[in-house]
A and B are shown apart, each in its own frame.
Chain A
Amino acid sequence: MLKTQEYNLNLGPQHPSTHGVFRILLTLDGERVVKAEPIPGYLHRGVEKLAEARTYTQFIPYTDRLDYLAAMLQNWGYVMAVEKLMGIEVPERAEYMRVICGELSRLASHLIAIGTYSMDTGGVTGFELALRERETTMDLLEELTGSRMTLSYARIGGVAADAPEGWLDKVDKFMDKMPAYIDEYDGLIAGNEIFQARTMQVGVIKPETAISYSLSGPNLRGSGVNYDLRKAKPYSVYDRIDFDVPLGTNGDCYDRFYCRLQEMRQIVRILKQAVAQIKEVDGPVIGKVPKVLKPPKGEAYEEIESSKGIIGYYVVSDGSAKPYRIHVRRGSFINLGYLDELLRGVLLADVIAILGSLDIILGEVDC
């Protein structure tokens, strides 16, 4: 093969296709990537360290800022870890509210994922369409929690507030309309020949590789590995809800994208069931929690299936009102581990397609 002189190209940190402030130092030979060095850290805020100066409850708003596109899932993972540490029971209604708010968050996140991916591969309309439905989702979340992005909705022992009057019906009605919208994305984005040409057989991750690099979420399932924490280790009330785990076959960019699209259909199913089931459940949305939270000495780890992958919180307590140490296992960060090898040998244009298909969020990468 013809060789040219190698040169370095900095992709990012402020490039829109890096989905935030992410930098990749690419070594290129012509248009082919020889080496790719991911350089995160531009957004680093020391969230884990900040937790040590705050009480357990006060850390909840900070978890929002990790994955601001699906804030509830972050809240949820954190409060579950603290609840495990303290042995707090969560009322049933609160569990349903968490599922509903969490799945709406996941929907909002996936809409951004497929919309921006459409833009990464050259289609702007897909992005605008996805934002339209995301707006409705955010309006619903805003009505429930008071905030649009950083929800701070979960509380240790439950959730902040019950659903307002008529809200559950609104969710139900929106979910009736959602399949038609998903069909629209399916036709417009996934059905587009240019999109298919740019994503099929690009950035293939083999199932064994995905497992050994501990990828998670749609990136893992796109490679055909059936591992979803909601099924594998059911938490909350997921064991009462009937849904499928969409899987890919080739492990390429298209499969990862398509997994998210299919997951949105499952979100509709989950939400419809959850809304129907919560109407049977009455009671408080927050359990009996002491005013000052002082967990016993010890440690706890809890993980949940977030929209970007598995998010896990490791909380260590020394018996005081503030956590001794908190560590967050962030799906996005770990999903990037294979990036260098994945990018070697591909064309520069495919770098964008591959990075977009991993659906990273920099709040979670840098933490």
Chain B
Amino acid sequence: MFGKGLVKGLVITWKEFWTPKVTIQYPEEQPPVPERFHGRLSIEVDKCIACGMCVNACPNKVIELKKQKVGKKQFLTDYVQNVQYCLFCGLCVEACPKDALHFTAIFNMNQYFYDNLPVVLVQREAPAEPVEKEEPAAKAGSGDKVKPKPKAKVDKSVPAAASEVAAGKAPDKEGQ
């Protein structure tokens, strides 16, 4: 029958008019983000041993990692995710042996200037001496070089925003 298609179509349109809407009014309303979401990276600095496995696993050379030797251990000084090259594949997170690297639910990483795009996850100075308790014994012969309270020095040198960014607490402050 001619016109049957039109009626059928209108029936569907009518039904569709009454079904609940799925549109989300972003940015007023934030979309639900599942637990496994591949957003921006975050790093737990205390867990990280600066082994560089994440850098090696990355197919696109996204991660820039700088480290310094402090005593016998490596100390992570800089950790930058160049999001503009990131494929959000998750190979870095999988490669981390210490479970220090994670994805966050932050997907809004846009910046006004291109230079601000890289996400600085860690930016700090290495302490001059190992922070561990056994340091006086290890440095018995070079007492004059020991600086008072290396830990305090580290804290002072880190800009307030950077340390918060490093802890993943202030995503909105990055790149400003």
**Hey, which bits of chain A sit against chain B, CB under 8 A?**
54, 57-62, 64, 125, 129, 132, 135, 139, 142-147, 150, 152, 160-161, 164, 184, 187-188, 191-194
**Which residues of the partner chain A approach B16 to less than 8 Å between Cβ atoms?**
129
**Which residues of the partner chain B approach A192 to less than 8 Å between Cβ atoms?**
5, 8-9
CB distance B57 to A58 under 8 Å? yes
CB distance B91 to A150 under 8 Å? no
**Which residues of the partner chain B approach A64 to less than 8 Å between Cβ atoms?**
87, 89
**Which residues of the partner chain B approach A143 to less than 8 Å between Cβ atoms?**
34-36
CB distance A62 to B59 under 8 Å? yes
CB distance A58 to B36 under 8 Å? no
Q: Which residue of A lies closest to B3 (CB)?
A: A193
CB distance B9 to A161 under 8 Å? no
Give the distance in Å from the alpha carbon of A161 to the alpha carbon of B2 in the complex: 53
Interface residues on chain B, number (Cβ under 8 Å): 24
CB distance A146 to B91 under 8 Å? no
**Hey, which bits of chain B sit against chain A, CB under 8 A?**
2, 4-5, 8-9, 12-13, 16, 22, 34-38, 57-59, 87-91, 94, 103
Give the distance in Å from the alpha carbon of A160 to the alpha carbon of B36 in the complex: 11
Report the minimal beta-carbon distance from B61 to chain A, rounded to whole angstroms.
10
Asked whether A191 and B90 contact (CB < 8 A) given A125-B13, A142-B34, A144-B36, the answer is: no
Give the distance in Å from the alpha carbon of A142 to the alpha carbon of B39 in the complex: 12
Q: Which residue of B lies closest to A145 (CB)?
A: B36
Give the distance in Å from the alpha carbon of A19 to the alpha carbon of B152 in the complex: 59
**Which residues of the partner chain A approach B5 to less than 8 Å between Cβ atoms?**
191-194
Give the distance in Å from the alpha carbon of A191 to the alpha carbon of B8 in the complex: 8
CB distance A160 to B37 under 8 Å? no
**Which residues of the partner chain A approach B13 to less than 8 Å between Cβ atoms?**
125
> Can you list 6 A-B pairs, Cβ within 8 angstroms, ordered by A?
A58-B91, A59-B59, A64-B89, A142-B36, A142-B37, A146-B34
CB distance B89 to A188 under 8 Å? no
Give the distance in Å from the alpha carbon of A59 to the alpha carbon of B103 in the complex: 21
CB distance A147 to B88 under 8 Å? yes
Q: Which residue of A lies closest to B13 (CB)?
A: A125
Q: Kindly identify which residue among A61, A129, A144, A184 contacts B89, using a CB–CB cutoff of 8 Å.
A: A61
Q: Which residue of A lies closest to B8 (CB)?
A: A187
CB distance A146 to B87 under 8 Å? no
Known: A62-B59, A64-B87, A146-B34; 17 extra A-B contacts, CB below 8 A, are A59-B59, A61-B87, A125-B12, A125-B13, A135-B22, A142-B37, A143-B34, A146-B90, A147-B38, A150-B88, A152-B90, A161-B36, A164-B36, A187-B9, A192-B8, A193-B2, A193-B4
Q: Kindly identify which residue among B9, B88, B90 contacts A160, using a CB–CB cutoff of 8 Å.
A: B90
Give the distance in Å from the alpha carbon of A286 to the alpha carbon of B30 in the complex: 34
Give the distance in Å from the alpha carbon of A62 to the alpha carbon of B35 in the complex: 24
Give the distance in Å from the alpha carbon of A305 to the alpha carbon of B38 in the complex: 28
Asked whether A188 and B8 contact (CB < 8 A) given A61-B59, A150-B87, the answer is: yes
**Which residues of the partner chain A approach B103 to less than 8 Å between Cβ atoms?**
146
Report the minimal beta-carbon distance from B55 to chain A, rounded to whole angstroms.
12
Give the distance in Å from the alpha carbon of A147 to the alpha carbon of B91 in the complex: 13
